[in-house]
């Protein structure tokens, strides 16, 4: 069985490669390359897979999931400029893809079996663009 928890955070970012001209970056990332930055209301869906505990009837304690998501994602990301304030995005371009990879890295160690395993990270940059990452094998 799978359970999905959804959270939101709002951040600003710039998608541009160092050493490239503004025109080159615009060709690569479109409007997201604006050097002054812009922002999104991100929505993150985190799916945990496991079997419901025969006593509690729960795969995982959702209060605990909420705390983990707050600690690893909402608190560091919300109302921040990702390029300036949230490593590794000082060195890694904060595309939606790279953000999903980073969120997976942060969350996976918290779900190691007893409280389910991390199944999927789905990150919406806008309603019209989202990425899904299910770990190395996917």
Site residues for other proteins per CB under 8 A: 15, 17, 27-30, 92-98, 100-101, 127-133, 138
Helix/strand/coil (H/E/C) assignment for every residue in 48-96? EECCCCCCCCCCCCHHHHHHHHHHHHHHHHCCEEHHHHCCCCCCCCCCH
Output the smallest distance, CB 102 to other proteins, in A. Answer: 10
The label of the residue with tokens 């919300």 reads 78
Output the smallest distance, CB 2 to other proteins, in A. Answer: 17
Output the smallest distance, CB 86 to other proteins, in A. Answer: 14
Looking at beta carbons only, is 21 or 56 nearer to other proteins? 21
Looking at beta carbons only, is 66 or 105 nearer to other proteins? 105
Output the smallest distance, CB 56 to other proteins, in A. Answer: 33
Looking at beta carbons only, is 19 or 113 nearer to other proteins? 19
**Distance, CA of 19 to CA of 91 (rounded, Å):** 13
Looking at beta carbons only, is 3 or 92 nearer to other proteins? 92
Provide the token pair at 90. 């000082």
């Amino acid at each position: 069985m799978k359970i999905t928890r959804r959270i939101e955070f709002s951040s600003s970012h710039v998608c541009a490669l160092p050493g490239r001209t503004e025109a080159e970056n615009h060709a690569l990332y479109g409007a997201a390359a604006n050097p002054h930055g812009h922002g999104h209301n991100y929505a993150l869906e985190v799916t945990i897979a496991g079997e419901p505990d025969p006593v509690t009837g729960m795969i995982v304690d959702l209060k605990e999931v909420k705390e983990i998501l707050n600690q690893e994602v909402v608190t560091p990301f919300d109302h921040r400029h990702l390029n300036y304030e949230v490593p590794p995005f000082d060195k890694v371009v904060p595309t939606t893809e790279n953000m999903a990879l980073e969120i997976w890295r942060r969350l996976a160690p918290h779900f190691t079996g007893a409280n389910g395993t991390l199944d999927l990270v789905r990150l919406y940059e806008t309603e019209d663009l989202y990425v899904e990452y299910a770990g190395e094998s996917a």
